Structure formats: structure tokens, C-alpha cells
Chain A
Amino acid sequence: GIQVEQSPPDLILQEGANSTLRCNFSDSVNNLQWFHQNPWGQLINLFYIPSGTKQNGRLSATTVATERYSLLYISSSQTTDSGVYFCAVEYGNKLVFGAGTILRVKS
């Protein structure tokens, strides 16, 4: 099956700092999504991005499908950005999740 690897596994930022999260995948995929899981477990959709670049406020994402990776950029981080960030790729009919990046933003 496909392997989805996220890095770094853990990240601590000072409020206001920028960060880049990475997602590598081992095979061609149909699409890719980024999620933020809040402390209550809810998965918040951030980006649906099979290829190219998208921006939404302080967040942006880039997927280079030919090189099998995606990046999530967080600028001017806030404490509310804390949580777990997952990338998930559609492989066949299924969404396969990476292990996640745990982000903690300190005030």
C-alpha cells in the first residue's frame, strides 16, 4: 500500500512565527487534503489540493504531485493554531492519513 509520511512529528512555535509542514507520499494519488484536528477531535478541512498552490488567510498549501509531496505553510502563528495537522491522500477509493504533526504555539 501507499506510505504517507509527515514531518516534523512535533513542532513548538512562539506566537507570530512561521512554519512549514511537509507530507511525502510513496505513490501517485488522486487527491490530497490537509486537516487540522482540534482538541475536541473535530477534523477541520484546510485544503483540498491535488496539485498547485492555494491560500486561505494565514495558511497556504502547495502540492507537487510529480514529486509526491505537499507543504502546508502557517504564517504569523497564533495559539489557536495549536493541534494536530494531518495530510491525507486518496489512494484508490480510500483516504490514507499520515501520522500527523503536533503543533504547539506558545504565547
Chain B
Amino acid sequence: GAVVSQHPSWVICKSGTSVKIECRSLDFQATTMFWYRQFPKQSLMLMATSNEGSKATYEQGVEKDKFLINHASLTLSTLTVTSAHPEDSSFYICSARPGALNTEAFFGQGTRLTVV
């Protein structure tokens, strides 16, 4: 299957700082990537859809200014958590498809963010 790589796997940061998470499609191009958030013992919730060369589409209730998404190339999307607070601590996972709609989605390894 296709490979999606996410970096870093885990990060600890201080309150008030910003953290950038990278998501790369290693063996295919992705015009669209997706960012999810997962709290302990819960399911994955879609945060936003990242579109190459244009603005991301955010789900209802997700703060655009707090979770900055940039999709500057067909193989890289980044999620920046700005002015992080302890309540932002979570598991963040990205996803991409090696094709258009109705194709299989593949996920990165996830990033565990802890804000202290």
C-alpha cells in the first residue's frame, strides 16, 4: 500500500509555544490530505481538509487561527498548533489518498502532543 509518513512521532512543548507537525506522502502525490485528532479512548475526529495550493477547509468547531494548515506541495502538508495549551494535548493523525475520491485512504503514524 501507499506510505504516509508523519513527523515527529511525539513532542512535548511548553504552554504558549507553537508546534509544527509534518505529513508526507512518500510514494504518491496527494492534492488533498486530512488531519484528525484523537483523544484517549475515543475515535478519530476530522479537524480539517488540507488542499494543495489553497486554503484548508476546517470542520465546525475547529479554530482556524489555532490550527494552521499549509499544503505547499503535492507531497507535504503541515499542521501548526499555535500558542499551545494543555487542552491541546492529543494524538494528531494525518491521512492521504493516492488518487481522487473513492480510493483507499492511508494514515501516518500519528503525533502525540503533550503541552506542559
A contact set with B: CB distance below 8 Å? 30-31, 33, 35, 40-43, 45, 48, 50, 86, 88, 90, 93-100
20 A-B pairs within 8 Å (CB atoms) are namely A30-B101, A31-B103, A33-B105, A35-B107, A41-B91, A41-B93, A42-B110, A45-B1, A45-B106, A45-B107, A88-B44, A90-B102, A90-B105, A93-B32, A93-B49, A93-B101, A95-B34, A95-B95, A95-B105, A96-B46
- Say yes or no: A90 contacts B101, CB within 8 Å: yes
Binary CB contact string for chain B from 46 to 60 against chain A (1 if under 8 A, 0 otherwise): 100100000000000
Residue on B with the closest CB to A49?
B104
Considering only residues 47-84 of chain B, those with a C-beta below 8 Å from chain A are 49
Known: A90-B101, A93-B49, A93-B101. A43 touches B107 (CB 8 A): yes
* A41:B109 contact, CB within 8 angstroms: yes
Which A residue sits closest to B104, measured CB to CB?
A48
Tell me the complex Cα distance, A99–B42, Å. Answer: 7
Given A94-B34, A96-B46, are A42 and B101 also a contact pair (CB < 8 Å)? no
Contacts of A41 in B (CB 8 A): 38, 91, 93, 109-110, 112
Interface residues of B in 1-38 (CB under 8 A from A): 1, 32, 34, 38
In the bound assembly, the distance between CA atoms of A97 and B44 in angstroms comes to 6
Residues of B within 8 A of A31 (CB): 102-104
Residues of B within 8 A of A30 (CB): 101-102
- The reply to whether B102 and A33 contact each other, CB–CB distance below 8 Å, is no
- Complex contacts, A99 vs chain B, CB 8 Å: 42-43
The answer for the CA separation of A96 and B59 in the assembled complex, in Å, is: 12
Write out the residue numbers on chain B whose beta carbons fall within 8 Å of the beta carbon of A90. 101-102, 105
